[in-house]
Structure 1
Amino acid sequence: MKKTLIIFSFVGLIASCGSNENKTTDKSTSSESTSTEAPADPEVEKGLALVGKSDCLTCHKILDNATGPAYQAIAERYKDKPGSVDSLAHKVIKGGSGNWGTIPMTPHPAISEEDAKAMVKYVLSLKK
């Protein structure tokens, strides 16, 4: 009886793993369809992928303010300012405060400078 239960559990585990693969494929397909709306800049697409994998969307939303400012508001403020990519990438890595209120941005020291710049380029691409 125990062997039968173990076998059924194993089969169920394998079946559930298979269904997760299909869900992942479905998600990537749907993100591919929405990514055609964004600029075809590979750096922006890389930034979008990195933002999606990070904890950024915990504090930031695209259109609405949350704990942090909306990405579109950040893009409006910084898009045309020289040096903004480097400056904002530094803030992603080191954290910051005072530019959008009193709540500080949490530092993300594990994010490389290259990845932070790609993430910032994605955010800045959202300017209307």
Structure 2
Amino acid sequence: MIKPITGRAWATWSCGALLAACVLPATTAQAAPDAAAALSIVQKNNCLSCHAVDSQVVGPAYREIAKKYHGDATAPDKLFAKVRNGGAFVWGEVPMPPNPNISDADLRTVIAWILAGAPDH
């Protein structure tokens, strides 16, 4: 039979648990991306001239990008650099133009949304 923790042992255990909860880093679970905000950002910055959620236009579909980078922990930084600086020969020969005017926060919102599979909501 398991004995209940009481007295001094209980106080020690609870203080340790409280300390661990305060000191240990949070889990890696991330909040769901804000689809409405991401869609607004891609519309405002003309991203939809070359991309669509689920079909290739000039550039790849957002959902294809999500599939390609699924499980790649470095994907957010790679995509940030690609969108910010532009580049070519990742999805074909048509170059991605640089996008220096999108704020870092907006760019990270869009990238999180894309990597989540570009959900509608």
User: Structure 2 length normalisation: TM-score?
Assistant: 0.65
Question: What amino acid maps onto 2:94 in structure 1?
Answer: I
**Take 1:58 and 1:127, find their aligned partners in 2: how far apart are those partners?**
16
- Residue aligning to 1:72: 63
Secondary structure of the equivalent of 1:63?
Answer: coil
**Structure showing greater Rg:** 2
**Take 1:42 and 1:123, find their aligned partners in 2: how far apart are those partners?**
9
Q: Which structure has the highest helix share of the two? A: 1
Quick check: 1:79–1:127 contact (8 Å CA) kept in 2? no
- Residue aligning to 1:26: none
Matched, 1:101 2:92: yes
For residue 46 of structure 1, report the CA deviation from its aligned partner: 2.9
Quick check: 1:78–1:84 contact (8 Å CA) kept in 2? yes
5+ residue gaps, structure 2, are: 1-30
5+ residue gaps, structure 1, are: 1-39
Quick check: 2:45–2:102 contact (8 Å CA) kept in 1? no
- Residue aligning to 1:8: none
- Residue aligning to 1:123: 114
CA RMSD in angstroms, aligned pairs only: 2.1
1:105–1:113 Cα change, 3 Å? same
Percent identity, aligned pairs only?
36
- Residue aligning to 2:75: 84
1:103–1:69 Cα change, 3 Å? same
User: Structure 1 length normalisation: TM-score?
Assistant: 0.62
Question: What amino acid maps onto 1:48 in structure 2?
Answer: L
**Take 2:83 and 2:103, find their aligned partners in 1: how far apart are those partners?**
10
